[in-house]
Amino acid sequence: MHFSSETRRDDGVVERDFTIGEIPGVLWTPEAAPTPVPLVLLGHPGGLRTMRPRLAARARSATRDGLAAATIELPGSGERPRGAKVDAVRAELRQALQTGEPVTPEIVDRLVLPLVEQAVPEWQTCLDALLELPEIGGPVGLSGGVISIGVRLAVVEPRIAAAVLFAGSFVPRVVLEEARRVTVPVHVLLQWDDEGNDRQVALDLFDALGSPEKSLYANLGGHTGVPAFAGEEAARFLARHLR
Q: What is the contact surface with a second copy in residues (CB under 8 A)?
A: 192, 203, 206-207, 211-220, 227, 229-230, 233, 236-237, 240
Minimum distance from residue 220 beta carbon to a second copy (Å): 5
Minimum distance from residue 150 beta carbon to a second copy (Å): 18
Smaller CB distance to a second copy: residue 87 or 198?
Answer: 198
* Beta strands 2-8 and 13-20, pairing class: antiparallel
Minimum distance from residue 211 beta carbon to a second copy (Å): 8
Smaller CB distance to a second copy: residue 139 or 210?
Answer: 210
Minimum distance from residue 213 beta carbon to a second copy (Å): 7
Smaller CB distance to a second copy: residue 131 or 218?
Answer: 218
Minimum distance from residue 243 beta carbon to a second copy (Å): 14
In the chain, what's the furthest Cα-to-Cα distance? 55
Smaller CB distance to a second copy: residue 123 or 217?
Answer: 217
Smaller CB distance to a second copy: residue 125 or 219?
Answer: 219
